[in-house]
Amino acid sequence: MKIKPLSLRIRIFLSMILLVLLASVLIAAITIYQYKEQTNEYNKGRLSRKESSVKAAINYWLNSGTTFPLEEKYLHSIFKDKIHEISDIENLEINIYDLKGVMAISSQGGFVKSEAPKILPKEFLKKLSTSINHRFTETKVINKNNFQSSYSYITDGKYKPIGILNLRYVQDNTAQERDLEEFLYRLFMVYALMFVLAIILAYFLSSYITRSIKAVTDKMSRTRLNKRNEKILLTNASSEIFTLVNAYNEMVDELEESAVKLARSEREQAWREMAKQVAHEIKNPLTPMRLTVQSFQQKFDATDPDIYDKINEYSKTLIQQIDTMSSIASAFSNFAKMPTQKCEELNVVEVIKHSLDIFAEDYIHYQPEKEVIITKLDKVQLIRIVTNLVKNASQALAEQKEKKIIITVKESKQHIIIEVADNGKGILEEDKDKIFEPKFTTKSSGMGLGLPMVKNIVEAYGGTITFTSKLNKGTIFKVVLPKR
């Protein structure tokens, strides 16, 4: 199944909507990323501030409060009581390790179990000794909580390391997350409003942009070679549309010139063909007339006792050929002029019945649906329609043993329907498209003007003439005329 391509208007509309959606998604993603970065920076800064405060308290305690020597082996005794006090003040977990990474003392005691390692990994000690400030931090997720830890040296009064200070605290991002949710909610409301406005704006903007293109499309779809086409006049349009319109208007001018030339050529060709046909038909009776005159001239003998009989025979031959020429001229004259309608109120059933009186064949059957069907038509033209169709039907039965022609007439609310059916040889498939063309005939005699003339009469009334045919079974001609 082939998918129909989207129109330009829908593409513009969807593009604007997708642009707004993409912008909202990108801004939301950038906002979330920015909030996370700010939260991480805040937590790092907070840990750094707490570390500075704890170190200041420890240095003060080491310089003035403790009575134990400032050596690594006395770390537990030095901070036995002070570590809990500092932990309570700063509200964080404090662990102190010796220089080998073994935990000396922790502020988490009693029933509160610490997640801090009892012995620091060797890579921790290496990082601490090799870092520029002799300090490093790490973040871990324990039981779905983010723990931040910092490691730094505890020094004596001569800046000699005597232990490792480890500070741990749980990141509380509740306030930041609440701010983020509130901001995203407001952002969603703003973009929801913008989305609705974008739909409205995209609809009208796409309509405005494609209005000129639609006008061009409508005009081009109605462009025909056989009629006068209107040019497109636009006042507000882009330069690209103006270029397209100008190209279309130039094409209309060229098309009109081509149509005029084509019509003139067709008329000239039709008249040439008609002249050839007239000349051909007139030559047919002229040849026997010439031969008759020459024969009479050669054999004329005034003393012949049968001279008067021969003159009569000669005259009859000439009169017969002259009548043939007259009928040819009348046929072309009747075909060339449009039928002049002299409408009068008449009974179609009765007129058709009288028109069939000239046919004496007993295989012609007339079957009207009603006895009276009244309408306004030209009586002469109605007779011409019926007689031509019946005559053609009779000629189609020339080779049939059991001949039959049925003429029916009926009426509907708005039309009169006349049908002439025969059981003749039918019409060949290749001849069906040419049956109403002037000069086309399948008979050995005739000029092929009967059916074209009938078609002219029927169409002059605004009616239609159609036919159905099957080889060796027959043909049905159907004439539909509007009631008046």
CATH number at residue 71: 3.30.450.20
Given 177, 197, 230, which residue is the final one in a domain? 177
Average pLDDT over residues 347-357: 87
Other C-beta atoms lying within 10 Å of the C-beta of residue 25? 11
Q: Is there a domain that residue 225 lies in? A: no
pLDDT at 149 over 90: no
Given 278, 303, 336, which residue is the final one in a domain? 336
Domain that holds residue 298: 240-336
Same domain, 133 and 150: yes
Average pLDDT over residues 427-436: 80
pLDDT at 93 over 50: yes
Same domain, 104 and 166: yes
Same domain, 12 and 158: yes
Q: Is there a domain that residue 199 lies in? A: no
The CA-atom distances, in angstroms, between 278 and each of 179, 188, 272 are 100, 87, 10
Q: Considering the entire predicted model, what is its pTM?
A: 0.38
pLDDT band at 291, cuts 50/70/90? Answer: low
Same domain, 311 and 364: no
Same domain, 458 and 325: no
Q: What is the mean pLDDT of the chain?
A: 78
**Span 356-371, pLDDT tens digits:** 877 778 888 999 988 9
- The pLDDT, as a whole number, for residue 288 is 62
Q: Is there a domain that residue 188 lies in? A: no
**Span 434-468, pLDDT tens digits:** 777 765 455 544 445 668 878 888 888 888 999 99
SS3 18: helix
Q: Is there a domain that residue 70 lies in? A: yes
Same domain, 142 and 247: no
- The pLDDT, as a whole number, for residue 173 is 64
The CA-atom distances, in angstroms, between 187 and each of 26, 31, 176, 184, 190 are 12, 10, 16, 5, 5
CATH of the domain at 331: 1.10.287
Same domain, 17 and 158: yes
Same domain, 164 and 256: no
C-beta separation of 392 from 433 below 8 A: no
C-beta separation of 274 from 332 below 8 A: yes
User: Between 255 and 480, where is the model more confident?
Assistant: 480
pLDDT at 154 over 50: yes
**Span 21-70, pLDDT tens digits:** 888 888 888 888 888 887 777 777 777 888 888 888 888 888 876 778 88
Average pLDDT over residues 318-345: 65
Question: Which residues lie closer than 8 Å to 162 by C-beta, 6 or more apart?
Answer: 70, 71, 72, 75, 99, 154, 155, 156
Same domain, 320 and 349: no
- The pLDDT, as a whole number, for residue 447 is 44
Same domain, 60 and 123: yes
Which of the residue ranges 1-5, 128-132, 217-221, 475-479 has the most confident prediction, judged by mean pLDDT? Answer: 475-479
Q: CA–CA separation, 410 vs 406, rounded Å?
A: 13
Q: Is there a domain that residue 3 lies in? A: no
State what percent of residues in the chain have pLDDT above 70: 73
Q: Is there a domain that residue 257 lies in? A: yes
How many structural domains are present in the chain?
3
Average pLDDT over residues 175-191: 79
Which of the residue ranges 114-128, 235-249, 296-310 has the most confident prediction, judged by mean pLDDT? Answer: 114-128
Same domain, 281 and 410: no
- The pLDDT, as a whole number, for residue 89 is 84
C-beta separation of 137 from 149 below 8 A: yes
Q: Is there a domain that residue 355 lies in? A: yes
Other C-beta atoms lying within 10 Å of the C-beta of residue 266? 10
CATH of the domain at 352: 3.30.565.10
Q: Is there a domain that residue 289 lies in? A: yes
**Span 241-276, pLDDT tens digits:** 667 677 777 777 777 777 777 767 766 676 666 666
Given 177, 203, 222, which residue is the final one in a domain? 177
Same domain, 274 and 372: no
pLDDT at 3 over 60: no
pLDDT at 305 over 80: no
pLDDT band at 316, cuts 50/70/90? Answer: confident
